Amino acid sequence: MLDKEIIKSLIFLALSALYRLFPPKSTNWLYGYRTPAAMKSIQNWKLANAYCSQSLLIRSLFWSPP
């Protein structure tokens, strides 16, 4: 049986892959990196979501238990 931390890491890895393959196209209140600064313009939105998917990927690869 896989350790809980490995399972969490695999879930975040899968989410980051989905997020990178299918980024949100426009600002919305359901899907994406939603902060007031990110939602000010479509350029900010795309930049914030690209950074978020990359950050999520890196964090999932180097997941460490608390």
Residue range 20-53, pLDDT digits in tens: 899 888 888 888 888 999 999 999 999 999 999 8
Q: H or E element: which one contains 27?
A: none
Domain assignment present for 57 = yes
- Residue 31: its pLDDT value, please? 83
Domain assignment present for 29 = no
Domain assignment present for 9 = yes
pLDDT at 58 over 70: yes
The parent domain of residue 51 ranges over: 1-24+42-66
Domain assignment present for 62 = yes
Do 39 and 24 contact (CB within 8 A), yes or no? no
Query: Contacts from 26-34 at CB under 8 Å and sequence distance 24+?
Result: none
Rounded distance between C-alpha atoms, residue 64 and residue 23, angstroms:
26
- Residue 36: its pLDDT value, please? 92
- Residue 47: its pLDDT value, please? 93
Domain assignment present for 34 = no
Counted domains in the chain: 1
pLDDT at 1 over 80: no
Domain assignment present for 14 = yes
32 Rama class: left (phi>0) / alpha (psi -120 to 50) / beta: left
Domain assignment present for 54 = yes
